[in-house]
């Protein structure tokens, strides 16, 4: 499972794509029991000129803590 996920992420990153919503609900198995990464609604293209993705995206409880700012908590009243 870990290998399949790493392979999928490597393929995306090799093409300059950041998925930004990796969570259990976006991982499924195909008929050959290979893990597939799905739901590409939050993806962004990352080029050498644009390596920073500044807007927070993805599922809140599955996001890295560093992807949030104080203002993102204050704006939705969850602080």
* pLDDT, position 54: 55
* pTM score over 0.85: no
Residue pLDDT tens, the chain, 79 long? 899 999 999 999 999 998 888 899 999 999 999 999 999 888 888 875 655 555 555 566 556 666 555 444 444 444 4
* pLDDT, position 53: 56
DSSP state of 48: S
**d(C-alpha 20, C-alpha 51), whole Å:** 14
Domain regions of the chain by residue span: 1-49
* pLDDT, position 73: 41
* pLDDT, position 79: 43
**d(C-alpha 40, C-alpha 20), whole Å:** 9
């Amino acid at each position: 499972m870990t290998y399949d996920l790493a392979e999928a992420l490597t393929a995306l990153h090799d093409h300059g794509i950041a998925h930004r919503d990796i969570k259990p609900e976006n991982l499924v198995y195909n008929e050959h029991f290979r893990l597939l990464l799905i739901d590409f609604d939050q993806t962004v293209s990352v080029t050498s000129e644009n390596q920073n993705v500044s807007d927070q995206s993805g599922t809140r409880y599955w996001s890295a803590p560093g992807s949030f700012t104080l203002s993102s908590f204050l704006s939705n009243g969850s602080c």
